[in-house]
Amino acid sequence: MALNDLDATDRRILDVLQRDARIANVDLAAQVNLSPSPCLRRVRRLEEEGYVRGSVSLLDPAAIGLPVSVFVQVSLEKQVDGALDEFERQITSHTEVMECYLMTGDSDYLLRVVAPDIAAFQRFLLDHLTRIPGVASIKSSFALKQVSYRTALPLSHIGDGAEAD
């Protein structure tokens, strides 16, 4: 999977797919100026090479009863492989943890947690997060408003390769 192997048509395909994963191949082919068969071959190659990890439907958190979004900074007592592995193993088992990043800076991890209400977040915090071995401190910040949220990655940094099927 070499980034240099992507040409402008591949970039256009990726751009369209990440905005509408359910687009019909015929419509995708028309948007990227290919006939359907070569377009489908390119999509399959992009999937096989790992550029496309999967296709999902994005749900509206508020519409399904999860309007509370909390960013949680977690610091561990020790930053050793065993402690990091155990924290990551336990934290990934909780479906309310939407994202988890190992960080540099003041905290070891940054989490984004969703919940139906503040009481549900408190239960997650007290019943689960504080009980993970090695957790030294937890700082939570409640999101008041989502100003920007994107799922489509920018592709402008990918150079123009030769156009080919």
Give pLDDT tens digits for 33-78.
Answer: 999 999 999 999 999 999 999 999 999 999 999 999 999 999 999 9
Q: Compute the distance between CA of residue 98 and CA of residue 112 in angstroms, rounded to an integer.
A: 6
How long a stretch of residues is the chain?
Answer: 165
- Specify the pLDDT at position 156: 87
- Specify the pLDDT at position 2: 67
DSSP 20-80: -TT--HHHHHHHTT--HHHHHHHHHHHHHTTS-----PPP-TTTTT--EEEEEEEEES---
| Cβ atoms of 9 and 161 closer than 8 Å | no
Domains annotated on the chain, with CATH = 3-48 (1.10.10.10), 68-142 (3.30.70.920)
Q: Compute the distance between CA of residue 105 and CA of residue 29 in angstroms, rounded to an integer.
A: 45
Q: In this structure, are strands 109-115 and 135-142 parallel, antiparallel, or unpaired?
A: unpaired
Residue 106 has pLDDT above 60, yes or no: yes
Give pLDDT tens digits for 14-25.
Answer: 999 999 999 999
- 110: β partners: 73, 101
- Specify the pLDDT at position 145: 96
Residue 161 has pLDDT above 70, yes or no: no
Give pLDDT tens digits for 131-151.
Answer: 999 999 999 999 999 999 999
Tell me how far CA of residue 122 lies from CA of 49, 96, 125, 126, in angstroms.
Answer: 42, 12, 5, 6
- Specify the pLDDT at position 158: 85
Strand order in the sheet with 97-102: 97-102, 109-115, 68-76, 135-142
**Predicted structure pTM score:** 0.86
Average pLDDT in the chain: 93
